[in-house]
Amino acid sequence: MFKSPSRQKLRTGKKKPKKGLSPLWILLSFPLLLIILEVSARLFFSFTGKPPRLASEQDNSPLSQAYQLEFLTNNKPIQGLPEGGKLKIERNPVLGYQLVPNQESQFWRINEQGLREEVSIPQNKPSDEIRVFIMGGSSAFGYRTDSNQSTIAAKLEPLLNDRVAQQRNQPNQYQPEVLPYFQSDRVRLLQKIPRLREGNYQVINAAIPGYASGNQLAQLALEILPYDPDLIIVIGGYKDLMLNSEQSFADLPLIDTYLSDAPQHFRDYLRKPLNNWAQKSDLVQIATAWMETPPIPTTQSTLVLDQNPSEPLANYLPQQPSELVERVERYRQNSIQMVRLAAGAGVPLISAVQPEITGRDLENLPRQEQEIINELGTDYIQEVQNAYTELRKANAQLQQTFPNNVNSVNLYPIYSDFSNQAFTDPIHLTSEANSIAAQRLYEEIVNMPKLQITPREPST
């Protein structure tokens, strides 16, 4: 007969479960461990300071932070696009985007019209005021300059007003306001320097970072002409070379993708708290440093809006000759329309091809610019130099086609003999370089017949 084992045997045969950490305890301890490590990292850095490598990779200088962009729609940040920038831009259905009015940092001030000006610009122009509007992208805007006073617009204004003061103080150096009767005296006096139109010159910085010619065309028609300008200066070309020919104007990066993809938009919203923590976490910075990620290149901020730091800048250039033709043609057609708009309003226009670092003497560069050239590489240099040849031709054709309405200016080579640093990246200029650009534009303005005073015939 089968005998069942005794209870004693059953009890001794049972295996007792091993004691260990429960899954719940593990789940709760992980965030606690992260908190402890984060506090430890912050305490360590509070005594020792952050290593130089971490500081440089973050580029958290006040100047860099001030020029980082934040993208808004309906006055709220767009989830999925970079946030936390000081310089706020918002969508505009016609212009693509625009600067948010009434914002400022220690390095710039944006007035209530969304212009980089210290004060508001009244639409009704004072009778003695002569308004000069400078349009363009980030170079004309003065991206990463230390103040509004360091921009091309701010440096051009005193040159013009000083010229007016000089004409009044030393009238004999200039042509007379009224011609004499005798022909011999007329010939002699007309050989003197023409007088610039007199008044209070206001040079207004209407440039917007990242704008291409399509944006500028819309801006001119809708935002600039209503302010009764006396002269319009458009500085551009580079953005058109870097913008795919399928795009008629520059827009916020990936904006259509984000706004049409509701699930992705929601996922970005849920990830926002984690991303904010990661950006501020010293622990994450240490982990990033240990992974030995490559340093952020100087050229990262060149395109301002849509550049991927991991992608070479040369990849944004036209990859086929036909694509270059289309991009230059877009620039030319938009420029033609701007000339026609300005001419219809009776306003002279200067169309200037903007400076770029490959226009320098590449054999004699300051150390900072040599590092930029090394980052860019030979492919970029050759392609940009070729592209700028076509860009300059298109710009020069404007004056040939409309000789009475537009002056074509080429700013590309103006730093070829400049010994100091002119560029902080491929297109953005130092304050000293902005002074040189302002001087070149001043020389063009004072020689424009439409801005000169024609001596009157003597009264009989």
Q: Quick check: is 23 in a domain?
A: no
Q: What is the pLDDT of residue 284?
A: 55
Q: How confident is the model at residue 202 (pLDDT cuts 50, 70, 90)?
A: very high
Q: Mean pLDDT over residues 362-366, rounded?
A: 94
Q: Quick check: is 204 in a domain?
A: yes
Q: Quick check: is 365 in a domain?
A: yes
Q: Quick check: is 143 in a domain?
A: yes
Q: Quick check: is 57 in a domain?
A: no
451 with 164: CB under 8 angstroms? no
Lowest average pLDDT, out of 53-67, 92-106, 255-269, goes to 255-269
Q: How confident is the model at residue 282 (pLDDT cuts 50, 70, 90)?
A: low
Phi then psi dihedrals of residue 406, to 5 deg: -145, 145
Number of domains within the chain: 1
Q: Can you give the pTM of this predicted structure?
A: 0.82
Q: Is 50 left (phi over 0), alpha (psi -120 to 50) or beta?
A: beta
For residue 419, pLDDT over 90 is answered with yes
Higher pLDDT, 74 or 399: 399
For residue 294, pLDDT over 60 is answered with no
Render pLDDT for 209-261 as a digit per residue (tens, 0 to 9).
999 999 999 999 999 999 999 999 999 999 999 999 999 999 987 555 555 54
Check which CATH number belongs to the domain holding 323 and give it.
3.40.50.1110
Q: How confident is the model at residue 54 (pLDDT cuts 50, 70, 90)?
A: very low
Q: Quick check: is 273 in a domain?
A: no
For residue 91, pLDDT over 80 is answered with yes
Tokens of 429: 């200029």
* Sheet containing 349-353: order of strands: 200-205, 129-136, 231-236, 349-353, 406-410
Q: Mean pLDDT over residues 368-386, rounded?
A: 95
Higher pLDDT, 303 or 378: 378
Question: What gap in Å lies between CA 181 and CA 120, rounded to an integer?
Answer: 47
Name the H helices within 59-151.
62-67, 138-141
304 with 424: CB under 8 angstroms? no
Q: Quick check: is 390 in a domain?
A: yes
Range of the domain at 141: 113-118+126-254+303-453
Q: Quick check: is 315 in a domain?
A: yes
Q: How confident is the model at residue 457 (pLDDT cuts 50, 70, 90)?
A: confident
For residue 52, pLDDT over 50 is answered with no
Render pLDDT for 295-317 as a digit per residue (tens, 0 to 9).
556 676 788 886 666 788 999 99
Strand partners, 150: none
163 with 203: CB under 8 angstroms? no
Arithmetic mean of pLDDT over the chain:
84
Which residue is listed with tokens 């240099």? 381
Lowest average pLDDT, out of 35-49, 148-162, 268-282, 359-373, goes to 268-282
